[in-house]
Structure 1
Amino acid sequence: MEQAAPMLSVTGARVRFGDREVLHGVDVTVAAGELLAVLGANGSGKSTLLRAAAGLVDAEGTVRVDGHERGRLDVALVFQKIHLVQRRTVLDNVCAGALGRLPLRSSLVPGLFPRDVREEAMGCLDRVGLADRARDRAGALSGGQQQRVAIARALCQRSRVLLADEPVSALDPAAAEQVLGLLAELAHTERLAVLAVLHQPSLARRHADRIVGLRDGTVVLDGRPDQPVESLYPHAEPALEAVS
């Protein structure tokens, strides 16, 4: 039986900053229904890989979503820094995920989102367990709750690919577990392709379906989440896994 094409495919990605090449022809794929964790030490190129997949940096190579070259709205993004409008309601923040497909006036007056968009946003909030906070100001939520709102906003974008750049690094351990568990659940139940850059190997082992490891801008491992990853952190203390 022929294997389905990956939902996200990055082929031959090369990125240079000045005279320094930070990605050296990287190939990465993510299937629909899969949470892929990208691990590596600081400076390994993992966040640059995500930004190349998102079109946020100039890169050689090819990025395809569902077999087609990536368009501007084909991927949704979740970052370490949670970019919510703190004074707006949670619901308005989630509705903002639909701005790319709405008339320009909606971006100028965000409180006037169409009814169908607001209903869709409520469904996205329900999906992340925060429908009861829809009318609250975003700034009143905890860090973990705000990151779940950011994920709901990404869902409202209707992308089949979600890219998360260290989405839990600013969260406490309990909130980090909840957010990674949510990303895994969304990948499996919504058939999303989720690529998450992480710096916690233990979290990746518990929640990812597959791990890709980068070292010096090159993929050095790609496989099961229980594979050894110590080679990615040559200067780490022996207690790396215990504190991750």
Structure 2
Amino acid sequence: MSEAALVIRGLRKSYSGRQVLDSLDLDVRSGELVALLGANGCGKSTALRCAVGLETPDGGTVRVDGRPAMVFQQIHLVRRRSAIDNVCAGALGRLPLRRSLTPALFPRELREEAMACLDRVGLADRAAERAGRLSGGQQQRVAIARALCQRANVVLADEPVSALDPSAAEQVVALLADLAHQRGLAVGAVLHQPALARRHADRIVGMVAGRVVLDSPAVAVGDADVDALYLPAVTR
């Protein structure tokens, strides 16, 4: 088994006195896709945001191997820019300020890297097309290519398919699994589609009230296990 590229231990987070993460422990290993399931408000998205530094936890530790990248439910592409310009934006932190001010100054080697990332997600032929003209599924794949251009070792996706039709959702989750298996990335994805998680994930982590209550190979997760994650609190 590969070493964990993301290690979370004892993570705690509260908002306005309401505890969202309650001593959360979570590992995501290189080469695997971990799907996080659970009812709204159980802390899934907060855990990912703490992992990449978008939220500051109240306690606990987070260790990330190399660069983490986040793929959001709201895709946040620059719609008037081309797909390749959006992917190049993933590398802005590696460029001198002068060369990051406008896409016209992006170096040739960066554009070649961005094209390779687009090819990896099956969109090399749409590189010059404005992002706003792409379908929702294609835009999400551009966002994943942008994460790859960050040279991330850990990719965390927060509800990446919630706004997509079933066919596009299937393609995006299959792509995330392929990136884990073929490129050795550690990939964690918050999903609200248990069937997708069971088809494509290596492990399923289920959360209730800020804690992990299920951590199992996806093939071993049954309907009763999934149902228990979404039952109203009064019935538990």
Normalized against structure 1, the TM-score is what? 0.91
Partner residue of 1:232?
Answer: 229
Q: Deviations over 1:107-138 (max 9, x none)?
A: 32133210000000000000000000011111
Structure 1 moving runs of 4+ over 6 Å: none
Cα distance, 1:235 vs. partner?
Answer: 3.9
1:47-126 pair list within 5 angstroms: 47-59=45-57, 60-66=59-65, 74-126=67-119
Equivalent position SS for 2:34: strand
Letter matched to residue 229 of structure 1: V
Cα distance, 1:43 vs. partner?
Answer: 0.8
Cα distance, 1:104 vs. partner?
Answer: 1.2
Cα distance, 1:19 vs. partner?
Answer: 1.2
Letter matched to residue 233 of structure 1: Y
Partner residue of 2:177?
Answer: 184
> Alignment identity in percent?
67
- Shift of the 80–115 alpha-carbon distance from structure 1 to 2, 3 Å rule, reads same
CA distance in 2, matches of 1:106, 1:181: 35
Identify which of 166, 184, 188 aligns with 1:195. 188
8 Å Cα contact 2:2/2:31 also seen in 1: no
CA distance in 2, matches of 1:107, 1:82: 21
8 Å Cα contact 2:2/2:30 also seen in 1: no
Unpaired runs of 5+ residues, structure 2, are none
8 Å Cα contact 1:92/1:111 also seen in 2: no
Pick which of 161-170 and 217-226 moved more: 217-226
Q: Deviations over 1:192-223 (max 9, x none)?
A: 00000011111100010000000011110101
Letter matched to residue 28 of structure 1: L
CA RMSD of the aligned region, Å?
A: 1.3
Q: Is the counterpart of residue 40 in structure 1 residue 38 in structure 2?
A: yes
Equivalent position SS for 2:63: strand
Q: Is the counterpart of residue 129 in structure 1 residue 122 in structure 2?
A: yes
Identify which of 18, 28, 31 aligns with 1:30. 28
CA distance in 2, matches of 1:211, 1:181: 15
Q: Deviations over 1:72-108 (max 9, x none)?
A: xx21110010110000011100000111111112332
- Shift of the 16–84 alpha-carbon distance from structure 1 to 2, 3 Å rule, reads same
Q: How many correspondences in the alignment?
A: 228
Equivalent position SS for 1:83: coil
Letter matched to residue 32 of structure 1: S
Equivalent position SS for 2:179: helix
Equivalent position SS for 2:76: coil
Partner residue of 1:7?
Answer: 5
Unpaired runs of 5+ residues, structure 1, are 237-244
8 Å Cα contact 1:45/1:216 also seen in 2: yes
Normalized against structure 2, the TM-score is what? 0.94
CA distance in 2, matches of 1:20, 1:184: 34
Cα distance, 1:4 vs. partner?
Answer: 4.5
8 Å Cα contact 2:33/2:186 also seen in 1: yes
Letter matched to residue 143 of structure 1: G
